[in-house]
Amino acid sequence: MSSDHATAEEQWSEDPRYRVSNRESVITAVYFASYIVLTIGSAWMIGGNKSIDEISLVLGFPDWLFWSTFALGGVFCVVPYFLIKHLFTDMSLEADGDLPDSRYGERGGATSSGPALADEGR
């Protein structure tokens, strides 16, 4: 159909790269959520509301600080490497690029039509 006539009924399809990108965003969010929970959680479980006599030293730092920031912080520095290596996808970023292969569905697989979108919108 000619785009001159294209109005509310216009046919269009979602860029297949966006689904892959969205999945990576979810992975990022899960990473940060676990980072928050584990860092603060471990600091508090180990050192929360203790007196100075109850705190032992690890490499010269209070135990709660060492385990939550140095040790766990180190772990969370390494985790991104594996996340990216195994779960992130190389793809073209150019405006009219596409996914490198069809693992994530054929091009235009997420076709949306005008009326269906309008339903979702209301």
Partner 1 sequence: MQWDVIMPLAVYLLLMIGVAYWAFTKRHSAAAGGMSAQYYIGGRSLGWVVLVFTLLASGASAGTFIGAPGLVYDQGYGWVIAIMGQAPVAFLVLGLLGKRFAILARKLGIVTVVDVLRQRYESGVVVGLAAIGIVVFLTSYMVAQFTGGARVIQALTGVPYLWVVIISAGVVTLYTALGGFLADAVSDTVQGLIMLVGGVVLWVAILTAVGGMPSVTERVARQDPELLLLPGAGEFTTSLLFSYFVVFGLMAVALPHLTVRAMSYRDTDAMHKAMFMGPIIMTVFTLGFATMGVVARVLMPNIETGDLAVPELIIDMLPGPLAGALLTAPLAAIMSTVDSMLLIVSATIVRDLYVTYIKPSTSDRRASTMGSTVSALCGLVVLLLALRPPEYLEYLVIFSIGGLGSMFFVPLLGGLYWRRANTTAAILSMLGGLTTFVVTTQWLPEAALGFDPNVVAVFVSMVLFVVGAYAGPPPSQNVLIKFWGTNRDVQRVLARERGESAPAQAN
Question: Are 31 and 21 contacting, i.e. CB atoms less than 8 angstroms apart?
Answer: no
Q: Is 17 in the site for partner 1 (CB under 8 A)?
A: yes
Kindly tell me which residue out of 13, 71, 102, 109 binds partner 1, with binding defined by CB under 8 A: 13
Q: Is 86 in the site for partner 1 (CB under 8 A)?
A: no
Kindly tell me which residue out of 38, 67, 84, 106 binds partner 1, with binding defined by CB under 8 A: 84
Q: Is 117 in the site for partner 1 (CB under 8 A)?
A: yes
> Closest Cα partner for 71 from 54, 83, 59?
59
Q: Is 6 in the site for partner 1 (CB under 8 A)?
A: yes
Q: Is 14 in the site for partner 1 (CB under 8 A)?
A: yes
For residue 71 the two structure tokens come to 């040790």
Q: Is 90 in the site for partner 1 (CB under 8 A)?
A: yes
Question: Are 76 and 35 contacting, i.e. CB atoms less than 8 angstroms apart?
Answer: yes
Backbone angles phi, psi at 83, to 5 degrees: -60, -45
> Closest Cα partner for 116 from 8, 3, 16, 18?
8
Q: Is 8 in the site for partner 1 (CB under 8 A)?
A: yes
How many chain residues interact with partner 1 (CB under 8 A)? 72
Q: Is 56 in the site for partner 1 (CB under 8 A)?
A: no
